[in-house]
Chains A and B, each alone.
Chain A
């Protein structure tokens, strides 16, 4: 926990970006939507899917930056050896992010029905993008490209993805039936984590 605290402290301004999005930008957008359309669940669903998943890898990527890009990566690798994996860090930070989403959804449950279906979908979408970012980071030994890739993916597929099989986002999400796509997304996310971990074990050492 001490290491996690220091890693997040090292992010400084960047630590607060997801918090600003979750607790300021998103509520403001929801308020604007409420004013214009009333308590419309589909618009809430679109706003949440636009904001939440794309910021899921944010903390992980900024924390991994020191392990992948900094001049101190050699030292960090020697000391961490079998104690710590980048996968472990990524998952812990994803869980932390999900806990923040939970707070927002607890508040949203007073306004909207069906929020928990959306919550489940957002957890899985966040996991998918975190896993994709982790895999790319391990593969490219770089954190900038994964960050850009996950943002671009989210924007393109959320705004113009339609019914593409590559799209993890869903319209509506008002009942269990609208979660049909999610088991597949979850499976792909797990595969990404696994491949990323194998890549981390093989490539990290040789990249020094």
Chain B
């Protein structure tokens, strides 16, 4: 008969030959003996390193946790600022401007993370909460307060302000993982996604952002996007639908190996030459029109993002923004782009108040 002492000696290598043989024979007798032996091995193995195991005052931990969740429930019912379970010293604080006028000037965010460290803020209309969403085994569909939606993929997390819809800049911080954004169009308020050292600025669009082994990958489905390096905003790209870029080694690398096919449209709208722009610009012949086909609305969004400082776009343009035009928007020269726009639409361009500034207005109807 095999005893616990025999098994222990066998495990510790102190069994004699006959004792070891007895144990082996006992093991081979049936499954129950084998299971018992495996159970003792696990126990003996864990017991051997038990001194590394640290104990916890579990009741004390539960009491703290219970108070925390009770406080959260009370805060939710009182509509007061919520404390996120993080130490203030580890929380990220983004400059955040609540008042619209301040936001226009500063254009940054401030997330309030801990009620105890709430700084004084001038003209505070509403205290913002930081809302954090984390997925584990399943993706999550999130609707933001401006009706934009986010599909947060598995093992991902993001945070955003509870007052996003009314903020002057709509900002979401993607913290980990990947997500697909479908952003409600709002020409007055940019939507910015911050992720891993880069920023993505959109007016209304659908795009994917996530991390691969190569870097941060961005795919644009519709609309227009400006993606830029946070540390160096000059390092940026303007993306159009179908673009697929990866940010790696401080560069935006085009993942599309071949050039994008140009879609043909039924007719290219080419208007008769309008009144020339006051500044001297070389004429471009009709047959020299290059570029790809885009919606007028997307072209205007793109111009607003890229040339916003030089360009003003009148609100009433008298064009259907869903109309398609052929234009080379990557010429890198605003004047040439505007001239193409005049050629392909009924829009007009006139000088703005500052040097090298322009205004896009409605042209004469055909």
Mutual binders A and B: no
Spell out A's residues near B (CB within 8 Å): none
